[in-house]
Amino acid sequence: MPVYPVVAGKASCRVSGCVCRGRVPRYPSDLTDAQWKLLEPEARGVMAELRKGPGGAPMSHDLRAMLDAIGYVTRYGIEWRALPVDFPPWTAAYAFFERWSARELPRRLADRLRGRIRIACGRAELPTAAVIDAQTVRGSDTVPASSSGYDAGKKTKGRKRNIATDCLGLLLVVTVTAASVQDRDGAHRLLALLHERYSTISLVWADGGYAGRLVVWAKQALRLAVTIIKRTDNVTGFVLLPRRWVVERTFGWLVRHRRLVRDYERRPEHHEAMVWWATVAIMTRRLTRELAGTPPEPRRGQPRPDLKTA
């Protein structure tokens, strides 16, 4: 049931009582007109590629409203049942999320956007190097014990996100394992997927947790050179390590989305999908700025005035 009542007379969708086709963007997570103009052809193109063969009935709800609904859940971490009434019904939004995430719609969208961002930044469309790291996330009570574990190093029970990014911090691959899985063990599948999807990559940077047999295996099995960047023990305080800060910044981008601060998903593949949907939102905003030539907006309020000239 929706949280707020719907006025049937204002319905604009073929589904009874739904007002999604006449919806006006009103939340900070909603796509702007410029972002939707950029994202719409990419989304419809990916959906056409995935819908091979005879098509079924056309989509009842508005695609922009559906993407805004998923963006709202991802950004603010609410339950699906708590979607505001101006979005499509939560059952339809969740069905879209589950069906199209299983078909890797968000990952394919991110692939298209990443290539355009790299070209706009003066780089080749396909990356040749990557950075990997893992992040342990505390699991909610909805996470089953069969897919979660305890990370003794972080003293956290939940799951672990293993990601690979390019040199710009744009996500390439993500896998989700139990928190009890060691970084080097979880990286086997991560590197295998990275090699399968991006044959142009030959160099991978990682921290000291990946040293050992993983480096030898990657060289022999995948022909990937894994370079370990270790922290210097005799240096105190904060030290900016080369390359490693790139993937740490990506984790910072992701956890701005409250659905990713903790793991609420019953299935690991749904958590992976949430990471990809958050990445699509991040890349859409960035590509819109790159094409318009505008700087990023300040995170909190307006820039501080210059006290010397004020």
The DSSP string of 169-230 is --EEEEEEEETTS-HHHHHHHHHHHHHHH-TT--EEEE-GGG-SHHHHHIIIII--EEEE-P
Per-residue pLDDT of 88-107, as tens digits, reads 999 999 999 999 999 999 99
Average pLDDT over residues 152-173: 95
Amino acid 213: pLDDT = 93
What mean pLDDT do residues 215-225 have? 95
pLDDT for 4 beyond 50: no
Specify the higher pLDDT residue, 250 or 208: 250
Distance, in Å, from the CA atom of 35 to the CA atom of 163, rounded to the nearest integer, reads 26
Distance CA 303, CA 310 (A): 13
Q: What is the pLDDT of residue 220?
A: 95
Q: Which residues of 81-101 are buried (b: 16+ CB within 10 A; e: fewer)?
A: eebeebbbbbebbbebbeebb
Residue 309 has pLDDT above 50, yes or no: no
Provide the mean pLDDT of the chain: 88
Is 90:81 a contact under the CB 8 Å cutoff? yes
Q: How confident is the model over 25-42, as pLDDT tens digits?
A: 889 999 999 999 999 999
Higher pLDDT, 58 or 8: 58
Mean pLDDT of 277-287: 96
Tokens 């590197």 correspond to 191
pLDDT above 90 coverage of the chain, percent: 72
| Per-residue pLDDT at 6 | 46
Residue 284 has pLDDT above 90, yes or no: yes
pLDDT at position 235 is 64
pLDDT at position 55 over 60? no
